[in-house]
Amino acid sequence: MHQLPNHIIVIGGSAGSLVVIKAIVNALPAQFNAAIILVIHRPKNIPSALHDVLSQKPSQHQVREPEDKECLCNGNIYLAPQKYR
């Protein structure tokens, strides 16, 4: 069972912020006591490869869009859903 985070870090940016966000994700330690939420502009009508880009090595973290009402967990990186209404 995952431990609920003591801290939540939210990082937001435009589509042009991807290089900086990828550098931040790659610099994270293997384990950290926080959940990270990334809010990045992504057009609704174009499939996004953001998950794939952020999950590439050297990143060792789970990157995903959470399910509705899902509890956040330490050490995970969550993408704000692309098509959320």
**Nearest-CA neighbor of 38 among 6, 57, 61?**
61
Does the residue 3 lie in any domain? no
Domain that holds residue 67: 8-79
Is 2 inside a domain boundary? no
pLDDT tens readout for residues 39-77: 988 767 766 777 677 776 666 778 888 888 899 988 899
Instruction: With respect to residue 46, please indicate whether it lies within any of the assigned structural domains.
Output: yes
Inside any domain, residue 59? yes
Task: Provide the H-helix boundaries in the chain.
Answer: 18-27, 50-55
* Per-residue model confidence as pLDDT tens digits over 17-34: 888 988 888 888 888 889
Q: Look at residue 85 and tell me if it is in a domain.
A: no
pTM above 0.95, yes or no: no
Report the number of distinct structural domains present in the chain: 1
C-beta pairs of 11-14 under 8 Å, 24+ apart in sequence? 11/36, 11/37, 11/38, 11/39, 12/38, 12/39, 12/40, 13/39, 13/40, 13/41, 14/40, 14/41
